[in-house]
A = this chain, B = another copy of it.
Protein backbone atom coordinates (compact mmCIF):
# COMPACT_ATOMS: atom_id res chain seq x y z
CA UNK A 1 0.00 0.00 0.00
CA UNK A 2 1.40 3.42 -0.84
CA UNK A 3 1.83 6.34 1.52
CA UNK A 4 -1.27 8.18 0.38
CA UNK A 5 -3.43 5.17 1.16
CA UNK A 6 -1.70 4.76 4.53
CA UNK A 7 -2.36 8.39 5.41
CA UNK A 8 -5.96 8.03 4.25
CA UNK A 9 -6.40 4.99 6.46
CA UNK A 10 -4.84 6.80 9.40
CA UNK A 11 -7.38 9.58 9.07
CA UNK A 12 -10.34 7.37 8.29
CA UNK A 13 -9.49 5.12 11.17
CA UNK A 14 -10.53 7.83 13.58
CA UNK A 15 -13.75 8.88 12.00
CA UNK A 16 -14.83 5.81 10.05
CA UNK A 17 -18.17 4.11 10.65
CA UNK A 18 -16.36 1.03 11.83
CA UNK A 19 -15.86 2.69 15.19
CA UNK A 20 -19.31 4.06 15.56
CA UNK A 21 -22.48 4.14 13.50
CA UNK A 22 -22.88 6.98 11.06
CA UNK A 23 -24.62 9.92 12.61
CA UNK A 24 -28.01 11.00 11.48
CA UNK A 25 -26.69 13.97 9.54
CA UNK A 26 -28.94 13.75 6.50
CA UNK A 27 -31.41 16.59 6.49
CA UNK A 28 -34.99 15.67 7.27
CA UNK A 29 -37.67 17.24 5.09
CA UNK A 30 -38.50 20.74 6.28
CA UNK A 31 -35.70 20.79 8.84
CA UNK A 32 -32.26 22.34 8.57
CA UNK A 33 -29.28 20.00 8.51
CA UNK A 34 -27.90 20.02 12.03
CA UNK A 35 -24.48 18.63 12.81
CA UNK A 36 -23.74 17.74 16.42
CA UNK A 37 -21.16 17.38 17.74
CA UNK A 38 -18.87 19.25 15.37
CA UNK A 39 -15.19 18.83 16.22
CA UNK A 40 -13.27 21.76 14.78
CA UNK A 41 -9.63 21.82 13.68
CA UNK A 42 -8.66 23.83 16.76
CA UNK A 43 -10.13 21.01 18.91
CA UNK A 44 -13.08 23.04 20.10
CA UNK A 45 -16.36 21.16 19.92
CA UNK A 46 -19.74 22.66 19.01
CA UNK A 47 -22.87 20.97 20.33
CA UNK A 48 -26.22 21.75 18.71
CA UNK A 49 -29.83 20.92 19.50
CA UNK A 50 -32.93 22.06 17.65
CA UNK A 51 -35.49 22.66 20.39
CA UNK A 52 -37.64 25.78 19.91
CA UNK A 53 -40.04 24.90 22.75
CA UNK A 54 -37.36 24.26 25.35
CA UNK A 55 -36.67 27.01 27.90
CA UNK A 56 -33.33 25.82 29.27
CA UNK A 57 -30.61 23.61 27.76
CA UNK A 58 -27.06 22.70 28.73
CA UNK A 59 -24.39 20.17 27.88
CA UNK A 60 -22.79 18.04 30.63
CA UNK A 61 -19.58 16.29 29.75
CA UNK A 62 -16.34 14.71 30.84
CA UNK A 63 -14.65 17.88 29.59
CA UNK A 64 -15.51 19.61 32.84
CA UNK A 65 -19.02 20.03 34.05
CA UNK A 66 -22.14 21.71 32.85
CA UNK A 67 -22.08 24.38 30.16
CA UNK A 68 -25.28 26.33 29.34
CA UNK A 69 -26.40 26.36 25.70
CA UNK A 70 -27.81 29.48 24.04
CA UNK A 71 -30.79 29.63 21.68
CA UNK A 72 -30.94 31.51 18.38
CA UNK A 73 -34.10 32.83 16.67
CA UNK A 74 -34.72 29.53 14.87
CA UNK A 75 -34.80 27.64 18.16
CA UNK A 76 -31.35 26.13 17.63
CA UNK A 77 -29.41 25.75 20.86
CA UNK A 78 -25.63 25.60 20.79
CA UNK A 79 -22.56 25.62 23.02
CA UNK A 80 -18.87 25.52 22.22
CA UNK A 81 -16.39 23.86 24.56
CA UNK A 82 -12.64 23.55 24.47
CA UNK A 83 -10.13 23.44 22.95
CA UNK A 84 -10.01 19.94 24.46
CA UNK A 85 -7.13 17.51 24.81
CA UNK A 86 -7.34 14.71 22.25
CA UNK A 87 -9.49 12.04 23.91
CA UNK A 88 -12.93 10.42 23.92
CA UNK A 89 -15.51 12.30 25.99
CA UNK A 90 -18.90 11.20 27.28
CA UNK A 91 -21.65 13.84 27.43
CA UNK A 92 -25.39 14.37 27.73
CA UNK A 93 -27.77 17.24 27.06
CA UNK A 94 -29.88 18.69 29.83
CA UNK A 95 -33.22 19.61 28.23
CA UNK A 96 -35.49 21.39 30.67
CA UNK A 97 -34.01 19.25 33.42
CA UNK A 98 -34.10 15.94 31.53
CA UNK A 99 -30.80 14.20 30.74
CA UNK A 100 -30.78 13.04 27.13
CA UNK A 101 -28.43 11.84 24.43
CA UNK A 102 -27.53 14.13 21.54
CA UNK A 103 -30.21 13.22 18.96
CA UNK A 104 -27.82 13.95 16.04
CA UNK A 105 -25.01 11.72 17.29
CA UNK A 106 -25.03 7.98 16.60
CA UNK A 107 -21.89 7.36 18.70
CA UNK A 108 -23.28 6.32 22.08
CA UNK A 109 -22.22 4.56 25.24
CA UNK A 110 -24.79 2.02 26.40
CA UNK A 111 -25.03 0.36 29.79
CA UNK A 112 -26.96 1.38 32.88
CA UNK A 113 -27.17 4.83 31.38
CA UNK A 114 -27.00 5.88 27.75
CA UNK A 115 -24.74 8.81 26.96
CA UNK A 116 -23.32 10.35 23.81
CA UNK A 117 -19.63 10.12 22.96
CA UNK A 118 -17.33 12.39 20.97
CA UNK A 119 -13.74 11.80 19.99
CA UNK A 120 -11.39 14.75 19.69
CA UNK A 121 -8.58 13.43 17.50
CA UNK A 122 -4.95 14.45 17.86
CA UNK A 123 -2.39 14.96 15.12
CA UNK A 124 -2.01 11.23 14.56
CA UNK A 125 -3.84 8.07 15.65
CA UNK A 126 -3.32 7.28 19.30
CA UNK A 127 -2.97 4.09 21.31
CA UNK A 128 -6.70 3.29 21.22
CA UNK A 129 -7.27 4.07 17.53
CA UNK A 130 -7.57 1.48 14.79
CA UNK A 131 -4.40 1.69 12.73
CA UNK A 132 -3.21 0.00 9.57
CA UNK A 133 -1.88 -3.10 11.34
CA UNK A 134 -3.23 -6.63 11.78
CA UNK A 135 -6.39 -6.72 13.90
CA UNK A 136 -7.79 -9.25 16.27
CA UNK A 137 -11.47 -10.13 16.61
CA UNK A 138 -13.98 -9.93 19.44
CA UNK A 139 -16.41 -12.79 19.84
CA UNK A 140 -19.73 -12.37 21.60
CA UNK A 141 -20.09 -15.68 23.33
CA UNK A 142 -23.17 -17.03 25.10
CA UNK A 143 -22.82 -19.76 27.70
CA UNK A 144 -25.14 -21.49 30.13
CA UNK A 145 -24.33 -20.67 33.73
CA UNK A 146 -25.51 -23.31 36.16
CA UNK A 147 -24.23 -21.16 39.04
CA UNK A 148 -26.61 -18.37 38.11
CA UNK A 149 -29.32 -20.49 36.48
CA UNK A 150 -29.40 -18.48 33.28
CA UNK A 151 -27.77 -17.96 29.93
CA UNK A 152 -24.93 -15.45 30.18
CA UNK A 153 -22.80 -13.50 27.79
CA UNK A 154 -19.14 -12.60 27.53
CA UNK A 155 -16.95 -10.82 24.97
CA UNK A 156 -13.69 -12.55 24.03
CA UNK A 157 -10.81 -10.81 22.24
CA UNK A 158 -8.50 -13.04 20.22
CA UNK A 159 -5.30 -11.48 18.85
CA UNK A 160 -4.34 -11.07 15.17
CA UNK A 161 -3.55 -14.43 13.55
CA UNK A 162 -5.29 -16.37 16.32
CA UNK A 163 -6.01 -19.87 15.13
CA UNK A 164 -8.28 -21.98 17.30
CA UNK A 165 -6.67 -25.13 15.94
CA UNK A 166 -2.96 -24.46 15.77
CA UNK A 167 -0.11 -22.94 17.76
CA UNK A 168 0.96 -22.59 21.37
CA UNK A 169 -1.53 -21.85 24.13
CA UNK A 170 -1.88 -18.13 24.76
CA UNK A 171 -1.91 -16.27 28.07
CA UNK A 172 -5.36 -15.05 29.11
CA UNK A 173 -6.54 -11.88 30.85
CA UNK A 174 -9.97 -11.74 32.50
CA UNK A 175 -10.93 -8.08 32.18
CA UNK A 176 -13.87 -6.78 34.22
CA UNK A 177 -16.14 -3.80 33.61
CA UNK A 178 -17.59 -1.24 36.04
CA UNK A 179 -21.07 -1.06 37.54
CA UNK A 180 -22.36 1.32 34.86
CA UNK A 181 -21.36 -0.94 31.97
CA UNK A 182 -21.69 -4.52 30.86
CA UNK A 183 -19.50 -7.10 29.14
CA UNK A 184 -19.48 -5.06 25.94
CA UNK A 185 -18.04 -1.95 27.64
CA UNK A 186 -14.33 -2.72 27.39
CA UNK A 187 -14.72 -3.21 23.64
CA UNK A 188 -17.08 -0.44 22.62
CA UNK A 189 -16.16 2.24 25.13
CA UNK A 190 -12.74 1.07 26.26
CA UNK A 191 -11.41 -0.11 22.89
CA UNK A 192 -9.47 -2.88 24.65
CA UNK A 193 -9.19 -4.68 21.30
CA UNK A 194 -7.47 -1.80 19.51
CA UNK A 195 -5.26 -1.08 22.54
CA UNK A 196 -4.13 -4.72 22.48
CA UNK A 197 -3.72 -4.77 18.67
CA UNK A 198 -1.49 -1.70 18.81
CA UNK A 199 0.68 -2.97 21.68
CA UNK A 200 1.06 -6.40 20.08
CA UNK A 201 2.07 -4.81 16.76
CA UNK A 202 4.72 -2.80 18.59
CA UNK A 203 5.89 -5.89 20.54
CA UNK A 204 5.03 -4.09 23.75
CA UNK A 205 2.53 -6.73 24.84
CA UNK A 206 2.40 -10.47 24.30
CA UNK A 207 -0.35 -11.83 22.09
CA UNK A 208 -3.08 -12.85 24.50
CA UNK A 209 -6.75 -13.73 24.77
CA UNK A 210 -8.80 -11.16 26.70
CA UNK A 211 -12.03 -12.48 28.22
CA UNK A 212 -14.55 -9.80 29.20
CA UNK A 213 -17.31 -11.44 31.23
CA UNK A 214 -20.55 -9.89 32.49
CA UNK A 215 -19.89 -8.59 35.99
CA UNK A 216 -23.48 -8.11 37.13
CA UNK A 217 -24.40 -11.37 38.81
CA UNK A 218 -26.72 -10.34 41.65
CA UNK A 219 -29.53 -7.76 41.79
CA UNK A 220 -28.34 -4.12 41.83
CA UNK A 221 -27.89 -2.27 45.14
CA UNK A 222 -31.07 -1.45 47.03
CA UNK A 223 -31.63 2.16 48.05
CA UNK A 224 -29.14 3.01 50.78
CA UNK A 225 -26.95 -0.03 50.25
CA UNK A 226 -23.21 0.47 49.89
CA UNK A 227 -20.30 -1.95 49.74
CA UNK A 228 -22.40 -4.91 50.94
CA UNK A 229 -24.29 -5.04 47.63
CA UNK A 230 -21.00 -5.17 45.73
CA UNK A 231 -19.61 -7.84 48.04
CA UNK A 232 -22.75 -9.94 47.49
CA UNK A 233 -22.46 -9.39 43.74
CA UNK A 234 -18.75 -10.25 43.68
CA UNK A 235 -19.42 -13.55 45.46
CA UNK A 236 -21.99 -14.54 42.83
CA UNK A 237 -19.70 -13.29 40.08
CA UNK A 238 -16.78 -15.30 41.46
CA UNK A 239 -18.83 -18.50 41.27
CA UNK A 240 -19.76 -17.75 37.68
CA UNK A 241 -16.18 -16.86 36.75
CA UNK A 242 -14.42 -19.83 38.33
CA UNK A 243 -17.05 -22.49 37.69
CA UNK A 244 -18.50 -21.43 34.35
CA UNK A 245 -16.55 -18.78 32.45
CA UNK A 246 -13.04 -20.13 32.96
CA UNK A 247 -13.87 -23.79 32.18
CA UNK A 248 -15.84 -22.65 29.10
CA UNK A 249 -12.96 -20.50 27.87
CA UNK A 250 -10.39 -23.21 28.58
CA UNK A 251 -12.48 -25.69 26.58
CA UNK A 252 -13.29 -23.47 23.59
CA UNK A 253 -10.25 -21.19 23.27
CA UNK A 254 -6.55 -21.95 22.96
CA UNK A 255 -5.50 -20.57 26.36
CA UNK A 256 -3.00 -21.56 29.01
CA UNK A 257 -4.45 -22.55 32.40
CA UNK A 258 -1.57 -21.98 34.83
CA UNK A 259 -1.43 -18.92 37.09
CA UNK A 260 1.71 -17.59 35.40
CA UNK A 261 -0.31 -17.17 32.20
CA UNK A 262 -3.56 -15.98 33.75
CA UNK A 263 -4.34 -12.39 34.78
CA UNK A 264 -7.37 -10.62 36.21
CA UNK A 265 -8.04 -6.89 36.10
CA UNK A 266 -10.95 -4.50 36.11
CA UNK A 267 -12.15 -0.97 36.62
CA UNK A 268 -14.23 0.46 39.48
CA UNK A 269 -16.61 -2.36 40.56
CA UNK A 270 -14.49 -4.66 38.37
CA UNK A 271 -11.34 -3.51 40.15
CA UNK A 272 -12.90 -4.51 43.46
CA UNK A 273 -13.89 -7.87 41.93
CA UNK A 274 -10.36 -8.41 40.60
CA UNK A 275 -8.95 -7.90 44.09
CA UNK A 276 -11.66 -10.00 45.75
CA UNK A 277 -11.25 -12.93 43.36
CA UNK A 278 -7.56 -12.56 42.53
CA UNK A 279 -6.14 -12.12 46.04
CA UNK A 280 -8.13 -15.17 47.21
CA UNK A 281 -6.89 -17.28 44.30
CA UNK A 282 -3.21 -16.54 43.71
CA UNK A 283 -2.88 -20.14 42.50
CA UNK A 284 -5.12 -19.22 39.57
CA UNK A 285 -4.05 -15.63 38.82
CA UNK A 286 -0.45 -14.42 39.12
CA UNK A 287 -1.21 -10.95 37.73
CA UNK A 288 -3.81 -8.62 39.23
CA UNK A 289 -4.82 -5.14 38.07
CA UNK A 290 -7.25 -2.85 39.89
CA UNK A 291 -8.12 0.43 38.18
CA UNK A 292 -9.96 3.15 40.16
CA UNK A 293 -11.34 0.38 42.29
CA UNK A 294 -14.55 0.54 44.24
CA UNK A 295 -17.10 -2.07 45.30
CA UNK A 296 -15.33 -4.63 47.49
CA UNK A 297 -12.55 -2.15 48.21
CA UNK A 298 -15.05 -0.02 50.09
CA UNK A 299 -15.80 -2.91 52.46
CA UNK A 300 -13.46 -4.44 55.04
CA UNK A 301 -10.19 -4.51 53.14
CA UNK A 302 -8.67 -6.87 55.71
CA UNK A 303 -11.02 -9.51 54.31
CA UNK A 304 -9.36 -9.16 50.91
CA UNK A 305 -6.04 -10.14 52.48
CA UNK A 306 -7.29 -13.07 54.54
CA UNK A 307 -5.22 -15.45 52.42
CA UNK A 308 -2.22 -13.14 52.08
CA UNK A 309 0.28 -15.77 53.21
CA UNK A 310 2.89 -16.46 50.52
CA UNK A 311 1.33 -13.76 48.35
CA UNK A 312 4.72 -12.36 47.39
CA UNK A 313 5.87 -15.80 46.24
CA UNK A 314 2.77 -16.41 44.19
CA UNK A 315 1.90 -13.06 42.63
CA UNK A 316 3.96 -11.69 39.77
CA UNK A 317 2.19 -8.33 39.76
CA UNK A 318 -0.32 -6.53 41.93
CA UNK A 319 -0.97 -3.22 40.21
CA UNK A 320 -3.30 -0.53 41.56
CA UNK A 321 -4.08 2.66 39.68
CA UNK A 322 -6.27 5.64 40.53
CA UNK A 323 -6.80 9.28 39.66
CA UNK A 324 -6.15 11.84 42.38
CA UNK A 325 -9.50 13.55 41.80
CA UNK A 326 -11.45 10.27 41.82
CA UNK A 327 -14.06 10.01 44.60
CA UNK A 328 -12.54 6.58 45.23
CA UNK A 329 -8.97 7.84 45.56
CA UNK A 330 -9.04 7.72 49.33
CA UNK A 331 -9.99 4.04 49.59
CA UNK A 332 -7.35 3.18 47.00
CA UNK A 333 -4.76 5.14 48.92
CA UNK A 334 -5.76 3.38 52.12
CA UNK A 335 -5.48 -0.02 50.48
CA UNK A 336 -2.06 0.90 49.12
CA UNK A 337 -1.02 1.76 52.69
CA UNK A 338 -2.43 -1.50 54.01
CA UNK A 339 -0.51 -3.51 51.41
CA UNK A 340 2.68 -1.64 52.32
CA UNK A 341 2.07 -2.26 56.02
CA UNK A 342 1.59 -5.98 55.33
CA UNK A 343 4.71 -5.97 53.15
CA UNK A 344 2.85 -7.19 50.11
CA UNK A 345 4.75 -6.26 46.96
CA UNK A 346 2.64 -4.05 44.72
CA UNK A 347 2.63 -0.92 42.58
CA UNK A 348 0.31 2.06 43.03
CA UNK A 349 0.08 4.12 39.86
CA UNK A 350 -1.31 7.56 40.70
CA UNK A 351 -2.42 9.92 37.93
CA UNK A 352 -4.39 13.10 37.51
CA UNK A 353 -8.06 12.59 36.73
CA UNK A 354 -11.48 11.55 37.96
CA UNK A 355 -13.58 8.40 37.67
CA UNK A 356 -13.91 8.10 33.88
CA UNK A 357 -12.91 6.04 30.85
CA UNK A 358 -10.37 8.75 30.05
CA UNK A 359 -8.15 7.09 32.67
CA UNK A 360 -9.08 3.44 32.12
CA UNK A 361 -7.87 3.23 28.52
CA UNK A 362 -4.33 4.37 29.47
CA UNK A 363 -4.39 2.19 32.59
CA UNK A 364 -5.17 -0.83 30.43
CA UNK A 365 -2.32 0.06 28.09
CA UNK A 366 0.08 0.23 31.05
CA UNK A 367 -1.16 -3.04 32.49
CA UNK A 368 -1.04 -4.99 29.20
CA UNK A 369 2.58 -3.91 28.81
CA UNK A 370 3.48 -5.39 32.20
CA UNK A 371 1.80 -8.77 32.28
CA UNK A 372 3.00 -12.17 31.08
CA UNK A 373 6.59 -11.02 30.93
CA UNK A 374 9.00 -13.84 31.60
CA UNK A 375 11.23 -11.86 33.91
CA UNK A 376 13.48 -13.81 36.26
CA UNK A 377 12.17 -14.10 39.82
CA UNK A 378 14.71 -13.57 42.57
Residues of A near any B CB (own CB < 8 A)? 1, 5, 8-9, 12-13, 16-18, 21-27, 33, 49-56, 95-101, 103, 106, 108, 110-114, 130, 132, 135-144, 146, 149-153, 163-166, 181-182, 184, 187, 214, 216, 220-223
Q: Are A98 and B164 within 8 A (Cβ)?
A: no
Given the interface pairs A135-B142, A151-B16, A165-B164, the reply to whether A98 lies near B99 with Cβ below 8 Å is: no
Q: Are A223 and B18 in contact (CB under 8 A)?
A: no
Q: Cβ of B17 and Cβ of A140 under 8 Å apart?
A: no
Please determine whether B101 and A114 come into contact, CB atoms closer than 8 angstroms. yes
Query: Out of B25, B106, B163, B164, which one reaches A111, CB within 8 Å?
Result: B106
Q: Please, how many angstroms separate the alpha-carbon atoms of A187 and B138 in the complex?
A: 14
Looking at the complex, which one of B8, B150, B181 makes contact with A150 (CB distance below 8 Å)? B8
Q: With both chains docked as a complex, state the minimum distance between the C-beta of A178 and any C-beta of chain B, in angstroms.
A: 12
A135 → chain B, closest Cβ, in Å? 4
Structural contact, B100 and A9, CB atoms closer than 8 A = no
Q: How far does the Cβ of A182 sit from chain B's closest Cβ, in whole Å?
A: 4
Interchain CB contact under 8 A, A1 and B106:
no
Complex CA gap A321/B47 in Å reads 41
Contacts of A108 in B (CB 8 A): 108, 110, 114
The answer to whether B54 touches A97, judged by C-beta atoms less than 8 angstroms apart, is yes
Residues from chain B with a CB closer than 8 A to the CB of A25 are 220
Bound-state CA distance A131–B78 (Å) is: 47
A-B contact pairs, 17 of them (CB 8 A): A9-B144, A13-B151, A18-B150, A18-B152, A18-B153, A21-B112, A22-B182, A51-B97, A53-B55, A54-B98, A55-B96, A100-B101, A103-B113, A108-B110, A130-B151, A136-B142, A139-B139
